[in-house]
Amino acid sequence: MTAPYTAAALEPEATAPLIMALPKGRILKECGRILARAGIEPSPDYIDENTRHMRFPTNHPGLDVIRVRAFDVATFVAFGAAQIGICGSDVLMEFDYPEVYAPLDLGIAKCRIAVAEPAETAGTDDPSRWSRVRVATKYPNIARKYYASQGIHADVVNLSGAMELAPGLGICRLIVDLVDTGSTLRANNLVETAKIADISSRLIVNRTALKTQPEAVGAWIARFRDALTQG
Ligand code: ATP
Ligand code: PRP
C-alpha to C-alpha distances, 71 to 10, 76, 119, 147, 219, nearest whole angstrom: 27, 10, 29, 22, 26
Domain assignment present for residue 81? The answer is yes
- pLDDT tens string, the chain, 231 residues long: the values are 445 566 666 766 557 899 999 999 899 889 899 999 999 999 999 988 899 999 999 999 999 999 999 999 999 999 999 999 999 999 999 999 999 999 999 999 999 999 999 999 888 888 888 999 999 999 999 999 999 999 999 999 999 999 999 999 999 999 999 999 999 999 999 999 999 999 999 999 999 999 999 999 999 999 999 999 986
Domains in the chain, number: 2
The response to whether residue 159 sits with its C-beta less than 6 Å from ligand 2 reads no
Specify the pTM. Answer: 0.93
The response to whether residue 163 sits with its C-beta less than 6 Å from ligand 1 reads no
CATH assignment of the domain containing 151: 3.40.190.10
104 and 12 co-located in one domain:
yes
49 and 150 co-located in one domain:
no
Nearest residue (CA) to ligand 2, atom 21: 161
Residue-range definition of the domain harbouring residue 128? 111-199
User: Ligand 1: distance of its center to the CA of 78 in Å?
Assistant: 20
Domain assignment present for residue 1? The answer is no
93 and 174 co-located in one domain:
no
Q: How many CB atoms lie within 10 A of CB 120?
A: 10
Domain assignment present for residue 2? The answer is no
